[in-house]
C-alpha cells in the first residue's frame, strides 16, 4: 500500500524560545547559513550537551536535507536530524522544537519508506504535542498537513489511517485563528489550497500576495518567499499541470519516496520507537 505522510515546512521555522537564541549556531540559522548553523550546533552539543543545541542541529539538518540536498545525502541529513532530536528529547522530553521536529521528521522517513507504521507514529507524536500545547497554531497546522498529505493518497490511505481533506481544512481553519501565526503555516496552507477547487486556488493567490508582502524575518523565510513565487505564477496561469508541479517543487524532500531504495543506494530504515514510548 502506497503511503505518503505529511511533508511540512513548519518544523524548519519554529519560533525559538528566548533561552535558545544564545545557542551556538542560532545566528547563522537566522541568517540562512544552514550548514554553519548545523556544524556549530553539533559542535556545541558534543562539547556541552544541551537539548537546545541538539534541537537546533535537528532543525538545521531538516532544512538542509529538505531544500539543499537530494538522494543519499538528503536521507543521511534526515536520519542525523532524527538522532539529534532524540538526543534533545532524552535531555528534555517536552522540548518544544525537538518534539514537533521529530514528529515531522518521522513523517518524512515514512514518506521515503511508504510504511503505515511511520505515518501513524508521526500523527501520534503531533497529537501528543497538541495535548501539551493546545493553543499552538503550528501543532494544529502540522496535524492538518498530515491529514492533507495522507488524503491525497486515495481511499485506501484514508481508510487505513482515517485521514481526510475535509479534516485538514478544518484543522487549518482552527490553526489560522490562534495566536502567534507563523509564515511557514501560511505557506503550507497555500500549498494545500493550491490543490483544491477554483475558489480555493483564488484564496491561495490572495494569501500568497499577503505573505510575500511580509518582510522575511530571517534567511530561511526568504527562501520560502522565493519558493512561493513560481507557485503563484502557476496558480495565476490556471494550468493544472503547472500548478501540480509548483506544489511539488515547493515542498521539502521532494522525491524522497525514490531515494535510498534498491537500484539506487539502499539505506536502512531509521528505527521506529515502540508505540508506547515516551513520545
**Domain residue spans of the chain:** 1-178, 182-251
Task: For residue 217, give the C-alpha cell.
Answer: 524575518
Name the nearest CA neighbour of 122 among 231, 225, 4.
4
pLDDT digits (tens, 9 = 90+) for 56-104: 999 999 989 988 899 999 999 999 999 999 999 999 998 988 998 999 8
Task: For residue 265, give the C-alpha cell.
Answer: 543506494
Contact 193, 207 (CB under 8 A): yes
Asked whether residue 214 carries a pLDDT value surpassing 90, the answer given is no
CATH class of 1-178: mainly alpha
Q: Please report where in the chains the cell 518544544 appears, as a residue.
A: 96
CA distance 234 to 145: 21
For the entire predicted model, the pTM comes to 0.84
pLDDT-wise least confident of 16-25, 30-39, 89-98: 16-25
pLDDT digits (tens, 9 = 90+) for 217-276: 877 788 788 889 999 999 999 999 999 999 888 888 888 888 866 545 567 788 877 543
Alpha-carbon separation of residue 200 from 43, 163, 191, 205 (angstroms): 45, 20, 10, 9
CA distance 154 to 26: 40
Q: What is the pLDDT of residue 132?
A: 86
* DSSP of 112-135: HHT-HHHHHHHHHHHHHHHHH-TT
Q: Computed from CA positions of residues 187, 59, 251, 148, in that sequence, does the dihedral angle turn out positive or negative?
A: negative
Amino acid at each position: 500500500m502506497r503511503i505518503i505522510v505529511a511533508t511540512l515546512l513548519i518544523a524548519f521555522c519554529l519560533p525559538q524560545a528566548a533561552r535558545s537564541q544564545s545557542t551556538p549556531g542560532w545566528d547563522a540559522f537566522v541568517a540562512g547559513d544552514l550548514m554553519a548553523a548545523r556544524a556549530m550546533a553539533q559542535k556545541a552539543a558534543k562539547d556541552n550537551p544541551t537539548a537546545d543545541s541538539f534541537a537546533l542541529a535537528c532543525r538545521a539538518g531538516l532544512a538542509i536535507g529538505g531544500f539543499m540536498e537530494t538522494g543519499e545525502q538528503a536521507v543521511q541529513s534526515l536520519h542525523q536530524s532524527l538522532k539529534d532530536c532524540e538526543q534533545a528529547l532524552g535531555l528534555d522530553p517536552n522540548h518544544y522544537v525537538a518534539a514537533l521536529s521529530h514528529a515531522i521528521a518521522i513523517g518524512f522517513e515514512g514518506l521515503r519508506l511508504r510504511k503505515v507504521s511511520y505515518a501513524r507514529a508521526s500523527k501520534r507524536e503531533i497529537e501528543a504535542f497538541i495535548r501539551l500545547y493546545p493553543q499552538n497554531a503550528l501543532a494544529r497546522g502540522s496535524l492538518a498537513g498530515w491529514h492533507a498529505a495522507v488524503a491525497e493518497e486515495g481511499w485506501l490511505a484514508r481508510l487505513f489511517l482515517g485521514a481526510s481533506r475535509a479534516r485538514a481544512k478544518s484543522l487549518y481553519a482552527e490553526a489560522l485563528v490562534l495566536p502567534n501565526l507563523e509564515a511557514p503555516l501560511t505557506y503550507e496552507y497555500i500549498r494545500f489550497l493550491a490543490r483544491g477547487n477554483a475558489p480555493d486556488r483564488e484564496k491561495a493567490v490572495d494569501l500568497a500576495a499577503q505573505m510575500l508582502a511580509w518582510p522575511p524575518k530571517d534567511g530561511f523565510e526568504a527562501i520560502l518567499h522565493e519558493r512561493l513565487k513560481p507557485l503563484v505564477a502557476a496558480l495565476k496561469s490556471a494550468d493544472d499541470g503547472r500548478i501540480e508541479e509548483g506544489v511539488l517543487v515547493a515542498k521539502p524532500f521532494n522525491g524522497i519516496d525514490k531515494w535510498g531504495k534498491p537500484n539506487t543506494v539502499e539505506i536502512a530504515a531509521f528505527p521506529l520507537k515502540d508505540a508506547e514510548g515516551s513520545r
